[in-house]
Amino acid sequence: MRRLALITALALASPAAAQDTSGDVGFLTGFLQDSLSDAGRTVTIEGFAGALSSRATVDRLTIADDTGIWLTVDGITLDWSRSSLLSGALLVEEFSADQITLTRLPVTDDPALPAPEAGGFALPDLPVSIDIEQVSAARITLGEDVLGQPVEGSLSASLQLAGGAGRMVLDLLRTDAGPAGAIRLDAGFDNQSRELSVDLTAREAEGGIVTSLLQLPGLPAADFSLIGRGTLDAFAADITLATDGADRLTGEITLGTNDAGAQRLETALQGNLAPLLAPEQVDFFGTSVALTLAAERAADGRVTVEDFVLAARSLQLQGSAAIAADGLPESVSITGVLADPDGSPVLLPFGGTTLVDAARFELRSDLAGSGDWRGALSIDGLSGDFGRASQLRLSGSGGIARLPDGRSLDGTFRITAAGLTLADPALQQALGRDFDGTVTASYLEGDDAVALSDLRLTGAGLDLSGALMVGGPTGGFPVSGTLRAVAADLSRFAPLADLPLAGRGTVTLTGSAGVLSGLIDGTLALAAEGLKVGITPLDRLLAGTSSLTLSVLRDESGTDLRSLDLEAGPLGLAASGKLASAGSALRANIRLADLGAALPGWEGAVNLDASFDGTADLGRISVTGTGTGLAAGTAPLDRLLAGESTLAARVTLRDGRLVVDNATLATPQLSLAAVGDPAATDQTLAVEATLADLGLLVDGVRGPLRVAGQVVQDSAGLAVDLSGQGPGQVDATLNGQIAPDFAAADLALVGSGQAGLANLLLAPRSIEGPVRFDLALSGPLVPASLSGRVTLSDGRLVDPNLGFAVEGIAASAVLGRGRAAVDATALLSTGGSLRLEGPVSLSPPFDADLSIALDGLRLFDPELYDATASGSVQVAGPLTGGASVSGSVVLAEAELRVPDSTIAGAGSIPEIIHLAEPADVRRTRVRAGLLETDAGSPGSGSGAAFGLDLTISAPNRVFLRGRGLDAELGGEIRLTGTTADIVPFGAFSLIRGRLDILGRRLVLSQADLALEGSFVPVLTISASTESDGITSFVRIEGAADDPAVTFTSTPELPQEDVIARLLFDRGLESITVFQAVQLANAVAVLAGRSGVGIINRLRTGFGFDDLDVTTAEDGSTALTVGKYLTENIYTEVEVGQAGQSRINLNLDVRPGVTVKGRVGDDGETGLGIFVEGDY
């Protein structure tokens, strides 16, 4: 009506004017544009003519919003009678347009909520009558964005409005090549009689606009009609919806007024919507759907729904309600049932695959009575893509009241879920099969907030509790309060987080946040025990109690990190700062008081400070740090780290790329430095590393080692040009190019060096000797791209676990095609040589085909053996496990020594508990194999297992000597199985031998040592002697770790008598006490064990600190007596079988320093000072 008033005003403005002037037109055009435009709407008029005549025209009118023009009208004509205005009438013969183009719907702001009051209905009462004979548009064009498909049509209409009565007739036809369509409206209303008539029909052929928009199956032809007549107090309209000529929905809408003046609305619709539904929706709605509604609105705005029923195959919903004028529900009663009549699960009609076995809903309230409300929703058998829940229950109850301060609503809600079986196994493990939750909510009008208290959610391994205040939309839905989550077992959440989580923890979140504004002001506190995140060093630090606190403020200016503190054993982290788009400033400190807590074997403390200033486009990062008492458990590296270590680095973040300005890492022995070039367009670094003394890594090579050069990073990748020089002919260069993604390179490494540089990786083993190399890497970063040659001359390899060193090593390796052809010769420090040759793959599993030739290798232990071995061994297959070791080894001569045994042996040393053990002492024990480490216990053989087929033969000259035994054996054994489970077979048999005991010689008649699948040999040893017509026999049989010793004679005598005659050539009844002791010692010697009974009683009886009877290799015996004269003076007397004697005297000056002296009856004397210490 605003636009109509504008036209009328213009028409009345100057009726006497005969014709327009250009000034008038410009003024009127501007006036119309300004009057019709508004915020978000711009109206433009072009070619306005005849404004003050009876025929006005506009060439083009456009309407635009903030995104552009959405409506264009061309060729507008208004043909009207100016003189009719004098009689109080507006007569328009034609109001038409040549073309109307609607490309899209306008973009509008969200509409405001409607006022709660009803405005009633009446036609406008204008000062003039209106009669528009023709409203037409020859061509209407709608863009595809409007109705989903491009549409063209025409419009013809007429409008009469006079004396409070009006009528409109409208015909809209589709004229393009698409499916035919037509809409006709004939409607009228009279303010005096209050009579309304509506005749609306709409028809579309198959594939029309409406069926396409609704995506009805088959896109059928559609017809819709709404025909009604009557006064507003008794109006009735029939509604019909049909497709393909068949009615689908029919019904009646009636409007009326009751005796109290309240407006009534009654609706009754029913039909079969199945042909209009997708196949998966038919079972839900069925073939009959009905909707009935009876409601009225009182003059004071109170709305009463007397009856509401919605019925379909699987859904029954009914209820009634009374809503006060202020919107407060005075009474509500709603019930609903969702279930299939035949008991099958119901597929919900919202798309997807969600099924429900059955559901029930109930909501009741009574404001006039108790003021209480209660509701419940129960769902049985909910399933879908997410999984399945056997039961879901939501219930609530509370109160509704109209208080002096406003309307209030409160209630307590509970939700339970049982039998959860989720499709996501990770989520299933986290939530478990059941959970239960409760919350109390309250709302008071005017507070613009809902208070949530006693919030609690309990599930498998998780307990959530807290209280929240949730504000309304005027404040952007602010949320404030406290939430606390307790997880008793974080491993339940490991699959969900894709981390091997473990431990338990509590998270407390306190503060406020704006859901829409993004404002945050809060703190977070985490307390955990036994926390694991899958990063081994960090897990070690978090193994005990750890805590994290975070305080953050986020507002329009940015995010203020007030504090971030982490404490976990020796680890501490503190950070603070400001994050903002215009510029950020962050500070952090990390301290680790015990590096060994994160990295076993390491020692020392580390302290780091870091800062960031700037933006993501241009920022500076600074890092400084110190390390004190650093040690890695390997001697070469420990020597490099001795003293205080310092780190300093400054990096620039430019356009998302890190550029190093400078960086240094230094210890008193080693310095590393990198300096960037600020003027360079690419990252250019001058790098330098200096080792003060190469002797720290390589024994016998003294002097500084220096590596320097340049590294340039550009679009082509990384260009490297480095060179290094040092003592001992160390001189090498590395240059070439590395691809930007580090997937390929073209590098050359040429020069010479010292093999001892590898000792950092080999410790406790060590190697030395000059090395020359000429290597190239061309192509992908894989071993197959490596070629060249490496040689080692006059090298030496030492392994503390071996009793010899490998010396005079001359080795070469030719690399190419992913393999290394190895050829090496070497000497053993104990004698003999070996040669190794063959190819080895450079890629896992490192397939090899190696031949090892042994020539006169001398292997010996002064206490156990001395042997010379020759032969050949082949190693074939993957060296990481599964290779085979085969060949044969011949022992040219071997001497096996049986160690001396004392009759007073004290047994094994008991376990020693080390208190406050120094790190260097512990490392020594680890290297000696006296401690178990993460890799397993010493000698556990946990390395790669190789198959064995190795033959060791010694036809003769295998001598077994010791404890009076002197024998020569010969034989062969075969080692089979694997290196992890060796299975030996074979035997050594006696060639000749004898056994001397206390001056008596026994001739060995048999001595066999057999291996039968175990390294514990089975012994069969026989010896005999004859005296005074009696032949005595000694026989040792059984496993070597538990042999049986028997003594027999011919003629037969008691075993004790046989032993006495065997040793002393007399019967048991005639030997002396000293001979009895010797007899016991001899038995112990033969059995390979000692007994402390007799000797211990004698030592205790005489008051000695030591009493021992020993047997030498020649079978002679000796007696030793020892006694502490004072706490630091010890004396010892030795008396041999032949009567020789010696006195020893020890004086402990202080711990670790002892003075020792001795004097013998032969006049021999000695004096020495001994200094002892751990190493």
Distance CA 694, CA 700 (A): 9
Over 80: is that where the pLDDT of 1050 sits? yes
DSSP per position, 393-410: EEEEEEEEEEETTEEEEE
Among 322-326, 417-421, 651-655, 677-681, where is mean pLDDT lowest?
Answer: 677-681
Distance CA 1107, CA 627 (A): 55
Name the helix (H) or strand (E) containing 762: helix 759-762
CA angle 667, 668, 672 (to 5 degrees): 45
CB 626 within 8 A of CB 647: yes
Q: Please return the burial class of 771, using the count of CB atoms within 10 Å of its CB with bins 0-12, 13-18 and 19+.
A: buried
Query: Helix or strand or coil: residue 10?
Result: helix
pLDDT digits 0-9 by tens, 511-533 = 999 888 889 999 999 999 999 98
**The two three-digit tokens of residue 19, written as one number:** 């014709």
The whole-number pLDDT of residue 132 equals 72
Among 222-236, 354-368, 1030-1044, where is mean pLDDT lowest?
Answer: 1030-1044
What sign has the CA pseudo-torsion 207, 208, 214, 220?
Answer: negative
What sign has the CA pseudo-torsion 260, 261, 262, 265?
Answer: positive
The whole-number pLDDT of residue 931 equals 64
The whole-number pLDDT of residue 1096 equals 58
Secondary structure string (H, E, C) spanning 345-388:
CEECCCCCCCEEEEEEEEEEEECCCCCEEEEEEEEEEEEECCEE
pLDDT digits 0-9 by tens, 976-992 = 988 888 888 888 888 88
What sign has the CA pseudo-torsion 915, 921, 923, 924?
Answer: negative
Q: How confident is the model at residue 395 (pLDDT cuts 50, 70, 90)?
A: very high
Distance CA 638, CA 585 (A): 37
Name the helix (H) or strand (E) containing 34: helix 22-36
The whole-number pLDDT of residue 16 equals 36
- Residues 1160/1163/1168/1172 CA torsion (nearest 10 deg): -20
Over 90: is that where the pLDDT of 1063 sits? no
CB 173 within 8 A of CB 154: yes
Helix axes 22-36, 2-13, angle to 10 degrees: 160
DSSP per position, 1047-1104: EEEES---HHHHHHHHHHSS-GGG--HHHHHHHHHHHHHHHT----HHHHHHHHHHT-
Secondary structure string (H, E, C) spanning 848-891:
EEEEEEEEEEEEEECCCEEEEEEEEEEEEEECCCCCEEEEEEEE
Mean pLDDT over 613-623 rounds to 91
Over 80: is that where the pLDDT of 310 sits? yes
Name which residue leads in pLDDT, 1173 or 685.
Answer: 685
CB 37 within 8 A of CB 2: no
The whole-number pLDDT of residue 777 equals 93
845 preceded by a cis bond (ω within 30 of 0): yes
Q: Phi-psi category of 1138—alpha, beta or left, where left has phi over 0 and alpha has psi -120 to 50?
A: alpha
Over 90: is that where the pLDDT of 1058 sits? no
The whole-number pLDDT of residue 209 equals 83
CB 685 within 8 A of CB 678: no
Distance CA 262, CA 218 (A): 45
Q: How confident is the model at residue 1167 (pLDDT cuts 50, 70, 90)?
A: confident
The whole-number pLDDT of residue 1168 equals 81
Among 8-12, 234-238, 327-331, where is mean pLDDT lowest?
Answer: 8-12
Distance CA 839, CA 847 (A): 8
CA 1040 to chain centre: 55
Residue entry with tokens 């054993």: 569
Q: Please return the burial class of 23, using the count of CB atoms within 10 Å of its CB with bins 0-12, 13-18 and 19+.
A: exposed
Backbone angles phi, psi at 1036, to 5 degrees: -115, 125
- What proportion of the chain, given as a percentage, has pLDDT over 70? 85
Residue entry with tokens 């005075």: 330
Distance CA 1171, CA 1175 (A): 12
764 preceded by a cis bond (ω within 30 of 0): yes
As a whole number of angstroms, the longest Cα–Cα distance in the chain is: 174
CB 1089 within 8 A of CB 1108: no
Among 162-166, 865-869, 896-900, 1041-1045, where is mean pLDDT lowest?
Answer: 896-900
The whole-number pLDDT of residue 926 equals 66
Q: How confident is the model at residue 191 (pLDDT cuts 50, 70, 90)?
A: confident
Distance CA 913, CA 821 (A): 49
Mean pLDDT over 1150-1159 rounds to 82
Residues 6+ apart with CB under 8 A from 245: 221, 223
Q: Side chain identity at 273, as an amino acid letter?
A: L
**1148-1162 burial code (b ≥16 CB/10 A, e <16):** eeeeeebeeebeeee
CB 142 within 8 A of CB 71: no
Q: Side chain identity at 195, as an amino acid letter?
A: E
Name which residue leads in pLDDT, 781 or 1118.
Answer: 781
Secondary structure string (H, E, C) spanning 152-184:
EEEEEEEEEEECCEEEEEEEEEECCCCCCEEEE
Q: Which residues pair with 336 in a beta bridge?
A: 317, 361
Backbone angles phi, psi at 214, to 5 degrees: -85, -10
Per-domain residue ranges of the chain: 258-423
For residue 248, the tally of other CB atoms under 10 A from its CB is: 20
Over 60: is that where the pLDDT of 176 sits? yes
Q: How confident is the model at residue 907 (pLDDT cuts 50, 70, 90)?
A: very low
The whole-number pLDDT of residue 18 equals 38
Over 90: is that where the pLDDT of 335 sits? yes
Over 50: is that where the pLDDT of 595 sits? yes
pLDDT digits 0-9 by tens, 790-799 = 999 999 999 8
pLDDT digits 0-9 by tens, 128-158 = 566 677 788 889 888 888 878 888 999 888 8
pLDDT, averaged across the chain: 83
Name which residue leads in pLDDT, 1075 or 1124.
Answer: 1124
CA 137 to chain centre: 66
Over 80: is that where the pLDDT of 1091 sits? no
The whole-number pLDDT of residue 4 equals 42
pLDDT digits 0-9 by tens, 203-259 = 999 988 888 877 888 889 999 999 999 988 889 999 999 999 999 999 999 998 887
Residue entry with tokens 């060639």: 991
pLDDT digits 0-9 by tens, 939-996 = 344 456 889 999 999 888 888 777 667 888 888 989 898 888 888 888 888 888 887 7
Among 84-88, 409-413, 1045-1049, where is mean pLDDT lowest?
Answer: 84-88
Over 50: is that where the pLDDT of 1090 sits? no
Q: How confident is the model at residue 1114 (pLDDT cuts 50, 70, 90)?
A: low
Q: Which residues pair with 827 in a beta bridge?
A: 807, 833
The whole-number pLDDT of residue 17 equals 38
Tell which residue, 484, 481, 482, has the closest CA to residue 465. 484
Task: Return the DSSP state at 281.
Answer: H
Over 60: is that where the pLDDT of 415 sits? yes
Over 90: is that where the pLDDT of 481 sits? yes
Name which residue leads in pLDDT, 1139 or 504.
Answer: 504
Residues 6+ apart with CB under 8 A from 27: none
Q: How confident is the model at residue 1098 (pLDDT cuts 50, 70, 90)?
A: low
Mean pLDDT over 989-1018 rounds to 78
Q: Please return the burial class of 914, using the count of CB atoms within 10 Å of its CB with bins 0-12, 13-18 and 19+.
A: exposed
DSSP per position, 66-82: TTEEEEEEEEEEEEEES
Over 90: is that where the pLDDT of 549 sits? yes
In 103-220, at which residue ranges do the beta strands (DSSP E only) sit? 129-142, 151-162, 165-174, 181-190, 195-204
Name which residue leads in pLDDT, 612 or 701.
Answer: 612
Give the CA radius of gyration of the chain: 52
Name which residue leads in pLDDT, 1144 or 710.
Answer: 710
Terminal Cα distance for the chain, rounded: 106
Backbone angles phi, psi at 775, to 5 degrees: -120, 150
Q: How confident is the model at residue 1157 (pLDDT cuts 50, 70, 90)?
A: confident
Mean pLDDT over 661-677 rounds to 92
CB 249 within 8 A of CB 241: yes
CB 743 within 8 A of CB 780: yes
What sign has the CA pseudo-torsion 426, 430, 433, 436?
Answer: negative
